[in-house]
Amino acid sequence: MSVGEMLAATVPMARTLNLRFLETTPERAVVALPDQGDYHNHVGGPHAGALFTLGESASGAIVLSAFGDQLPRAVPLAVRADIAYRKPAMGPVTATATLGRPAAEVVAELDAGRRPEFPVSIAIHREDGAVAGEMTVVWTLRPHG
């Protein structure tokens, strides 16, 4: 089962919004939000909450891809998030997430007994390629126990 399939199966909000996990690798995650009237805002585009969920889901996909092998000893958790809405998002949109620190550096902190934090950067693009939003989610790997 791919990371995208796992997230779609286990995260109800991803299913609710019909998110499509197009690419999930340790280097990049790409998630699409189809145009759906039930999730529009007052101007006819995706609601801000749907855009936030799209970006957060893309960040979670890359975190699981990069650190899935660490799950037996640590749980990934979002610590905080920041989003900037740049242009109206109309129609389908896509979020692309990238890690802000090398995965090996994060794992080395975990190996040293610390609880690492690391940023994930997300760009939300409209179908015409324009950046509709930019987001950063800071994650941690919390050791079990």
Write down the H helix ranges in 39-145.
Answer: 48-67, 103-111
Q: Domain containing 71: what range?
A: 3-143
State which amino acid sits at residue 102. P
Q: Where are the beta strands (DSSP E) in 5-130?
A: 20-24, 29-33, 74-85, 93-99, 117-126
Residue pLDDT tens, the chain, 145 long: 788 888 888 888 998 999 999 999 999 999 999 999 999 999 999 999 999 999 999 999 999 999 999 999 999 999 999 999 999 999 999 999 999 999 999 999 999 999 999 999 999 999 999 999 999 999 999 999 7
- pTM above threshold 0.75: yes
Q: How many domains, in total, are found in the chain? A: 1
Coil vs helix vs strand at 129: coil
- Using CA atoms, how far residue 7 sits from 61, 76, 103, in Å, is 7, 13, 20
Q: What is the CATH number of the domain that holds 34?
A: 3.10.129.10
Both structure tokens of 65: 């891809």
